[in-house]
Structure 1
Amino acid sequence: MKAITKPCWPNVFLEWPQHNRTHEAMQYIPCLSVLVLLAIPGAARADIFPADAGFLNVKDFGAQGNGRTDDTAAFLEAIAASGEDTGTTFWQDKIVYVPNGTYLVSSPLVKRYQTGKFGSGLLLLGESQTGTIIRLPDHAAGYGDPQHPQAVVFTTSKLHDGTATSGGKDYNGLGEGNDAYMNFVENLTIDVGSGNSGAIALDYLANNIGAVRNVTLRAQSGSGAVGLSMTRKWPGPALIQNVTVQGFATGIATAQTEYGLTLEHIRLYDQTTAALQNSQNALAIRDIEIRAPSPTVINAGDKSFMAFDDVRPGNAPDVGSFMRNDGRAIFRGLTLSGGKIDGILAGRSQWTAASPPDWRIPLADFPEAGNLPLSTWVSPGRFGATGAADQDATDALRSAMATGAPVLYLPHGTYTIRDAVEIPSSLRRIVGMNSTIKVLAKRLPTFSRGSGMMRILSGGESLSIERLAFDNSNMGDQLAIEAAGNRDVAIRDVVSAGVTLLDRKAGGGRVFLEDVCCGKILTAGPAPLFARQLDTEGGGVRIANSGSPLSVLGLKTEGINTIVDNSSGALTDIFGGLVYMVRDGADASVPAFRNNGASLSASFAEESLRSGSRYAIYVGRGSGDARPPVAVTDFPERGFGRFVPGLKD
């Protein structure tokens, strides 16, 4: 056997996202919470994680994966067993693992609770993108009508608050809503076969945190309506990363005016109607290759916003030859047959050349730890921690880290600490298994609120912190992760509830944020901070940047806040996203950004459901910056909000 890393991947919260109350009032980057043992010649069956990690294997529920047996019932049983409704602590579902094989399914794979209601938290992780295949039989019943398409995999929202029809959604019929937390589909292929012109490979809905990663969606010629559909109310924020769509009438379809989606490393081949179709949502897209008949991109509706960084639409001679645009689109690195250009497209034909700032910070890839065999993993369970919320796990966590093991895994559960836990330089990965870190009510008096629950104080090789929740809801201020040591740190698929997510000190190393929600961020010093699909929600200043290079692909905010306070020579570049004030009665003096002796570039869409819940100033100043503020009236309206393509300050 050999081990390899696999890509992955509220007042209950102090800053509970407003849209969770009601809608109206309301080469790729690997990510890695999975270490899989791949079979080699003569080896036994592949398996994942240590045996006590707390995951579900579809084969333990009767799935055969032989390409002949209908495995639908086994999948549905495993998915149902992954977790019931846990209310506001929405991150506690178990991973459903699918070993390599071909699994025939004949109806949608969907999560429902024991009550029969739709649920969130469907985490479907395959062993490999090419070896794990979920396949629809040819000419499958219910998949033959493109006017009434049906999905193979169908992720849904739970109903946390409001009614089944709040905001106009159809929760009972379509599983719609904005409580679609922790939906992940990774490391597999969905093949809709032939003769299924009404098939949607993946009908995906996610909110706040969730991803489709390392996925191939495949249809035979003349089969397949949509590869990846994200059109139900309300998709986003979510990360779509390293996805290939082969065939189908439409490759990727998105809709709704909120909440923004981030797409990175996308390949769209041989679609017959549209490679990518967006209706009214805000998309941040990086590295997309399209090989399909024209028009390949449709940006439909006057509220649609698309931000493209490195788009390659075949041999198109100009923008109009591959894109039909009703809203706004900004391009960085659009490769046409005549070369690369940058600019902004308004409507069908209004093109304005516009280049990125000279100081632009290109997104970098995180240096992965490489092959860390399962035999090198250690659990705090070895030192007595059980994952029970009422147990003090501080000493067990420290003892596990002191072994010098490069990987610490936390079996599914809750690990409560009385004091900060320092991460040694020997540790390369912390794999959370959707586990929770909490602070004991009777904490040590010396455990400062500004001290990280996890502290990175020393240098060393790269460290990743994956699939964890830091929860201090209703217990006062707390910092989750303190990064002071000079080492690269990746924070992936992490929830911060009632805490500040990160304080990267001036001496800290590079930080990579990927698919995180929802806390504040503090950063200082010369090392860059890179973010992909960053969701930060609540009031006050969401990101305080003191002197750092900050590059964000796909931002989502919610609440009356200043998104970035940019100071001390900081360089902040935000490319794509959606900002959303939500509540009426905002203080008009609160700017979206504060730029004081620093440089800012931002391209985003502002969502507002009413005239009283939007920004009056986009860029304000501190006392040391004499430049005038940047008014919202400099930008075109998007309903009650505005389009902001190419703000530079």
Structure 2
Amino acid sequence: MPTNYIYILIGLLLSLQPETSAGQAYPSGEKHFPATAVINVREKYGAKGDGSTDDTQAIQQAISENIGKDRTLYFPKGTYLVTQPIKWVHIVEQDSLWRARLTIQGQSQKETIIRLKDHLPEFSNPETPKACLATGSNKVNNKESKNGGGINAFNNLIYDLTIHTGNGNPGAVALDFVGTNLAGLRNVTIVSGDGEGVAGILLKRQGAGPCLFKNVTIRGFDYGIDVYGSEYSQTYEYITLKDQKKASIRNTSNVLSLRKIRSENKNAVPVILNARRKDLKSAKRPDNYGLITLLDAEFVKNGEPATISAIVNESDTNTQAGNLYIRNVGVKGYQRTMENQGAVAKGSAIKEFVSTSVNGSASGNRADKPETFSLSIKETPQFHQNDLTQWASVTDFGASADDPNGDDTQAIQEALNSGKEVIFFPKGKFRYVISKTLVIKGNVRQLIGMQSGIDIGGKNDFSDSTQIAPVFRFEQGKHDTIYFERFNLSDERKSPFWGGVFIEHASSQVLVVKDIDNDVYARGKYFYQNTKGAGDLFLENVATIMPWNFAYAQHVWARQLNPEAHFVPLGKPIITQKGGSLWILGLKTEGPRTVLESDQGSVEVLGGFLYPVKNIQNRDLPAFISNKAKLKLTYVVNAYNPAASYTSMVSNGNKSSRKSITTDKKQFSNRGAGTAVPLYITTGEK
């Protein structure tokens, strides 16, 4: 059969190097924490970390006693030898009572190592792979999970360490991961000592996303990252993959948002394999086709040039190919850059490519001429203070998460006024209770919650729905950038919170919000709102259930944003934007609401997973509303029946005169009962 070349489809394949290098890891450095902020596995559980003592029992005990509690286990530098799978379970012998909500925090990405012993019989068979480390989910609908998978895999977080599968363990998986809403890895290295093993990161159980993987290096294995199943999307940034044997990344049906991916391989295998599902029983299921959004990447084949394609989008005569949006990718050492629907492309770079027609008012409805705009991208600022004399605990000022009847407002404000740079919240049995606005200014540089919960007091200043009142108000302070991270923000007591806003950005300082979960019962006005002149906002791994209000023009960059609609009023969008720019790498929503309404703003969504869940009663409800706004969107709608999918994708124009782009089969690809939108563009009303 003759080979078809994608000369027309890839009219934008040019011999260009990417504008920026990919996969360059942030220097993570060492991370020190006060003793009351973490649980030290050496001090409390007797782990040795000397590279020769078997630490399996100590580590498993630490995990089994702390899962489900949002605790942080701290691993000082050292090599922790293990000989059996380490699992997020309470009862190891019965492999039962899987749970989530645990943070593993290493001291050093390079020098904190969890390592499998060499040549273990339990890890010898690739046909029955076993994981060195496996996270889990809490019960779903009051039923225990048999394999640890599930949609309640919240707050599974791993930071700053290495997982090493040793030598002679060809049936090993380094990390079998489930994690939802707020979950993921940051500053993690995964290594096979001899290159053997099934996968570096395996994501095949239910509950693999939404989550964020950032600054991760994987060396060896058949697959660096192996993803299976349609739900609920994953975001990857600054990922380095080396010497995989079958594919660096294999995606079967899910939605992946990829940026700054670097592959270096001596083996002639694809870097990206967007694979077909071959076991579907119903065409109406939403998991027929995957969507990969890829930008700012470098793929290098070392040694002899590979005759295969660096990117493979599988298809056959009976199955539609998956969907791709690719931008700014450099390729070296591969004779073929990409294979899409049986056609192949040659060249050394992809400037911009869409696997199907482009939709929108500014497009020519051709994959070779998308005529797109792109927003500028800024990297998320990084900070960790290792000088522990600059840390202050709110408990030193009288706050306590062990007293369910207390009010911690005054004590926390005193800590914020103490002059220390870092204010931390030790994890307690319950939550810290706040009844009045906390003001952050002065010398405060970072608030770090250690996954502590924040609750609203019964008598509070947030109860009047006509008077908006913030819980955390960021006012002008000393530092250029402020960091707010590792909190669970909720109204678990169901206190009156009708005028409440969890975060108000009222300064020109840059604000970085990371690893935040906005939990059930948060029935307030907004999760976030800004004031005029607010500084840049960076979001990473943030899950919320309240509306967002960008009331004034602002520049926002988000990685793995999960805004759900549980407490978004009917007829209101989840996100409201008035001017400014909003750049999102990885967006997952939930609930039958409009995702975003932009009034003369600029929005770029690079990989979206829209999940209405319930039937959309107003069949004209659009997924997005553009009021003279510029939108560039790539996403899917996940649905099990047509009534739970949007029929109107984008309502475009102005508030008095709009035109809707509907889900006509001629315009969009079906994805089961939902829709795939590889690229939609509008540059505003002409």
Q: Tell me, what secondary structure is at the counterpart of 1:213? A: strand
Q: Superposition pairs for residues 333-482 of structure 1, below 5 Å? A: 333-337=328-332, 338-345=348-355, 352-353=367-368, 357-358=372-373, 360-369=374-383, 371=385, 373-387=387-401, 388-413=403-428, 414-444=431-461, 450-460=468-478, 461-473=480-492, 474-475=494-495, 476-477=497-498, 478-482=500-504
Letter in 1 for 2:65: A
Percent identity over the alignment is: 29
Quote the residue 1:506 is aligned against.
532
Quote the residue 1:524 is aligned against.
551
Q: Tell me, what secondary structure is at the counterpart of 2:218? A: strand
Q: Tell me, what secondary structure is at the counterpart of 1:458? A: strand
Quote the residue 2:676 is aligned against.
643
**Deviation string for 1:451-510 (max 9, x for gaps)?**
210001225421001101111243343210000111100111111131432112232111
CA contact (8 A) 2:218 2:240 kept: yes
Letter in 1 for 2:516: V
Return the offset for 1:646. Answer: 1.2
- More deviation, 443-452/273-282: 443-452
Q: Tell me, what secondary structure is at the counterpart of 1:335? A: strand
Quote the residue 2:642 is aligned against.
611
Quote the residue 2:562 is aligned against.
535
Letter in 1 for 2:671: R
CA distance in structure 2 between the partners assigned to 1:119 and 1:356 by the alignment:
47
CA gap of 1:443–1:278, structure 2 versus 1, over 3 A, is: same
Letter in 1 for 2:51: G
Return the offset for 1:355. Answer: 5.1
CA contact (8 A) 1:597 1:625 kept: no
Letter in 2 for 1:144: S
**Deviation string for 1:180-216 (max 9, x for gaps)?**
1111122111111111110000000001111111111
CA gap of 1:424–1:575, structure 2 versus 1, over 3 A, is: same
Return the offset for 1:222. Answer: 4.9
CA distance in structure 1 between the partners assigned to 2:653 and 2:456 by the alignment:
36
* Of 65, 70, 80, the match for 1:93: 70
Return the offset for 1:346. Answer: 5.4
CA distance in structure 1 between the partners assigned to 2:617 and 2:84 by the alignment:
47
Letter in 2 for 1:57: V
CA distance in structure 2 between the partners assigned to 1:335 and 1:281 by the alignment:
24
CA gap of 1:248–1:318, structure 2 versus 1, over 3 A, is: closer
CA contact (8 A) 1:295 1:324 kept: no
Deviating beyond 6 angstroms after TM superposition, the runs of 4 or more aligned structure 1 residues are: 316-319, 445-448
CA distance in structure 2 between the partners assigned to 1:447 and 1:206 by the alignment:
36
CA distance in structure 2 between the partners assigned to 1:227 and 1:627 by the alignment:
48
What is the root-mean-square deviation in Å for CA atoms of aligned residues? 2.4
CA distance in structure 2 between the partners assigned to 1:544 and 1:531 by the alignment:
15
Aligned residues: 592
Q: Tell me, what secondary structure is at the counterpart of 2:87? A: coil
CA distance in structure 2 between the partners assigned to 1:268 and 1:415 by the alignment:
41
Q: Tell me, what secondary structure is at the counterpart of 2:406? A: coil
State yes or no: 1:108 paired with 2:85.
yes
Letter in 1 for 2:681: K
**Deviation string for 1:403-436 (max 9, x for gaps)?**
1111111111321122101101321000101112
Q: TM-score, normalised by structure 2?
A: 0.82
Return the offset for 1:51. Answer: 2.5
**Deviation string for 1:503-549 (max 9, x for gaps)?**
12232111111101123211133330110000011144111111120
Quote the residue 1:601 is aligned against.
632
CA distance in structure 1 between the partners assigned to 2:237 and 2:456 by the alignment:
35
Quote the residue 2:238 is aligned against.
265
CA contact (8 A) 2:452 2:487 kept: yes
CA contact (8 A) 2:30 2:109 kept: no
**Deviation string for 1:72-95 (max 9, x for gaps)?**
0000111122144xxxxxxx4100
Letter in 2 for 1:399: E
CA distance in structure 1 between the partners assigned to 2:157 and 2:131 by the alignment:
16
CA contact (8 A) 1:234 1:256 kept: no
Return the offset for 1:283. Answer: 0.4
Quote the residue 2:31 is aligned against.
36
* Of 576, 590, 603, the match for 1:558: 590
CA contact (8 A) 2:626 2:654 kept: no
CA distance in structure 1 between the partners assigned to 2:590 and 2:444 by the alignment:
35
Return the offset for 1:402. Answer: 1.2
Return the offset for 1:445. Answer: 7.5
CA distance in structure 2 between the partners assigned to 1:612 and 1:566 by the alignment:
25
CA distance in structure 1 between the partners assigned to 2:551 and 2:191 by the alignment:
45
Quote the residue 2:661 is aligned against.
630
Letter in 1 for 2:577: N
Q: TM-score, normalised by structure 1?
A: 0.87
* Of 241, 250, 257, the match for 1:284: 257
Quote the residue 2:14 is aligned against.
none
The answer for unaligned runs of 5 or more in structure 1 is: 1-26, 38-48, 85-91, 165-170
Quote the residue 2:20 is aligned against.
none
CA distance in structure 1 between the partners assigned to 2:126 and 2:176 by the alignment:
14
* Of 247, 255, 275, the match for 1:300: 275
Q: Tell me, what secondary structure is at the counterpart of 2:533? A: coil
